[in-house]
Chain A
């Protein structure tokens, strides 16, 4: 289903190298990717494009992942958000804001599986809203 109509994923991270590598990885797996290095830029892209999912870094200067996620939920609550963090533990209220959480460094297969899972879960979530 996604091959004919590639999903548009927004990646947000202040780590430039990580962001570049993630883009290459996702594009190689058939996604269209938009990247933002900070919260403000991410929200702008979120407003301008029909984003299908967001891969969000937690620790960022200025606006952290939790703030960005809360803002996105206000604007389009249905868009799934995957919080990708270098921290092993995150506060509960942050975890509850997003659809799924992942720790950085777990490896590409887990990231890709999780992302796929996010889209599979999307339907019942949409229905429930």
Chain B
């Protein structure tokens, strides 16, 4: 049952009784009107009866007056006679108007008037006889007068009785009508009330069922909600990653067990504290405080990952390498309702990765050893020969030439051994590096290989400063240049360019830095293996390669907050591959200062 239907039922349940009451009161108003009309009719009949009674009394007075004068001849007796005569005329005229709408009674009244005129004619005759001294007491005349008077009284009585009968009939009709209306109203009201009761009961039953139903559903929903909450809590608690959820203001709302362990705070302790208090992160190398991911999410309003090389400092001072991401929790209106932060202890992973890196560095040295031995043996051979020649008493001029040649060759040995050694020596923290030096020393390491392969190297190098670990970058470029030389093969050309990169010139490096292109005109990288190029243990060189070179190079470039990309073309007319390495001027960007005041919402 929806809200509209419920409203409709409510309306009906209220409106039906109101309508019923209105109908009943209409009936009563009508009944009262009818009764009033009946009352008027009764009043009217009463008035007619009264008038007729008065008329009869006045006739008696008139007759008495006449009889008195007849007996005494005293004109005093005539006074009531005259008075009554005019009163009777008044009553008759009143009656005429009263009975105007009743033809039967009007006919009776006319007949009464006729007898009345007959009696008046008799009275005039008696008065005339008395006055003229005639025989006023003539029996026959007086009997005739009495008969007229009797008839008149009878007629008046006839009017009276007819009126009374009419009144009684009206009265009983009104009574009957009133009874019928009262009874029928009562019955209608009872039936209506009963129907209304049944209907209301039915509707209320419906409403109650619907209410019960919705109550049951909401209870069910509450149970489901509780259950899904339990599910989520259990999922979050048992997940292997650390999870912290924050409200929109960046205060901790929930921490799972892994997060508790890594941060050193319990869920209870951390609740409602600002995230930066609980989740304290620094850059691995510079120890600068890193921008809080929650602040970043609120700023960028999107999913963010942490900067590389982030260290989480636990409450007890333990440090963990972590890898994390933050994501906004959006409410239905799209506003940020909270932030969920997921991170993972990658300390072990980092250690094993570093071990593989170190291993590969040694392996690289091993692979280079043969060519380095070669580089050392060549000048050594010349030096040995020159020493032999010097021992055989050359002319001073020849000796000077031999010594100069020997020095030249010895300096070559020194240079090679230094380059070789610098593969191992590494500063503890990033230092400023001239990228040109790095590329040139990588080329020196590969000199023999390049010569053996018969590859031409064309360079266009500008001095550009970067920051980082020089041997690692040398390793990266030795790897890339070596790959390029192998790919292009005999008579091929490898082009190496190094240029400064202005800020905003490349979106991958918004603050600028340096850009290195290493291009070969080899066959290009087949499309189906391009995506696997940076994955470990992937190699196309079978026994000759470990499959770690590009993976490690990419890792080292990322460590320097740089970026490695490549484009490749396998078409017959335009084949070749270009690797691009972007390196920032500063390895570690300055973290934005955290505002000490709580964020305003």
Q: A residues near B, CB below 8 A? A: 14-15, 17-18, 20-22, 24-25, 28, 59-62, 64, 84, 86-88, 103-109, 111
Contacts and interface: CB of A to CB of B under 8 A. Distances in A.
A59 B451 CA distance: 9
Nearest to A13: B378
Nearest to B453: A61
Given A28-B389, A88-B373, A108-B385, A15 B378 contact: yes
B389 A61 contact: no
A107 B382 CA distance: 9
A21 B377 CA distance: 14
Contacts of B389: 21, 24-25, 28, 108
- In order of increasing CB-CB distance, the 8 nearest A-B pairs are A108-B388, A86-B377, A104-B381, A105-B380, A86-B374, A104-B377, A61-B454, A21-B382
B415 to A, nearest CB: 14
B374 A87 contact: yes
A104 B382 CA distance: 9
B382 A18 contact: yes
A46 B393 CA distance: 33
B420 to A, nearest CB: 15
A61 B382 contact: no
B369 to A, nearest CB: 10
A64 B452 CA distance: 8
B490 interface: yes
Interface in B492-548: none
Interface in B203-222: none
Contacts of B378: 15, 18, 86, 104
Given A86-B381, A105-B381, A108-B384, A17 B405 contact: yes
A83 to B, nearest CB: 14
A105 B388 contact: no
Given A17-B405, A25-B389, A28-B389, A105 B384 contact: yes
Contacts of A22: 382, 385
A34 to B, nearest CB: 18
B287 interface: no
Contacts of B101: none
7 contacts: A21-B405, A60-B452, A86-B377, A87-B374, A104-B378, A104-B381, A108-B384
Given A14-B451, A21-B405, A61-B454, A109 B381 contact: no
Contacts of A84: 381
B381 A59 contact: no
Given A86-B375, A107-B388, A108-B388, 14 more contacts: A17-B405, A18-B378, A21-B386, A21-B389, A21-B405, A25-B385, A28-B392, A59-B452, A61-B454, A87-B377, A104-B378, A105-B377, A106-B384, A111-B385
A104 B384 CA distance: 9
Contacts of B385: 18, 21-22, 24-25, 107-108, 111
Contacts of B379: 17-18
B319 interface: no
A17 B404 CA distance: 11
Contact of B451 (A21, A25, A61, A107): A61
B120 interface: no
Contact of A104 (B370, B380, B387, B453): B380
B359 interface: no
A109 B388 CA distance: 8
Contacts of A14: 451
B448 interface: yes
B276 interface: no
Given A17-B382, A25-B388, A86 B373 contact: yes
A17 B409 contact: yes
A103 B408 contact: no
A11 B27 CA distance: 142
A62 B392 CA distance: 37
B373 A87 contact: yes
A115 B370 CA distance: 26
Contacts of B453: 61
Nearest to B408: A17
Q: Which of B380, B384, B386, B453 has most A Cβ within 10 Å?
A: B384
A62 B490 contact: yes
Contacts of A25: 385, 388-389
A18 B412 CA distance: 12
A28 B373 CA distance: 28
Contacts of A111: 385
Contacts of A109: 388
B405 to A, nearest CB: 6
Contacts of A59: 374, 448, 451-452
A59 B374 CA distance: 9
A110 to B, nearest CB: 9
Contacts of A61: 451-454
B526 to A, nearest CB: 28
A15 B383 CA distance: 13
Contacts of B388: 25, 107-109
Q: Which of A20, A21, A22 has most B Cβ within 10 Å?
A: A21
Nearest to A102: B381
A22 B402 CA distance: 12
Contacts of B375: 86
Contacts of B490: 62
Nearest to A16: B382
A60 B131 CA distance: 194
Interface in B389-415: 389, 392, 405, 408-409
A20 B382 CA distance: 9
B384 A107 contact: yes
A35 to B, nearest CB: 14
Nearest to A57: B378
A107 B452 CA distance: 24
A112 B82 CA distance: 199
A103 B374 CA distance: 10
A64 B490 CA distance: 12
Contacts of A21: 382, 385-386, 389, 405
Given A24-B389, A108-B388, A18 B381 contact: yes
B377 A103 contact: yes
A61 B387 CA distance: 28
B536 to A, nearest CB: 30
A96 to B, nearest CB: 21
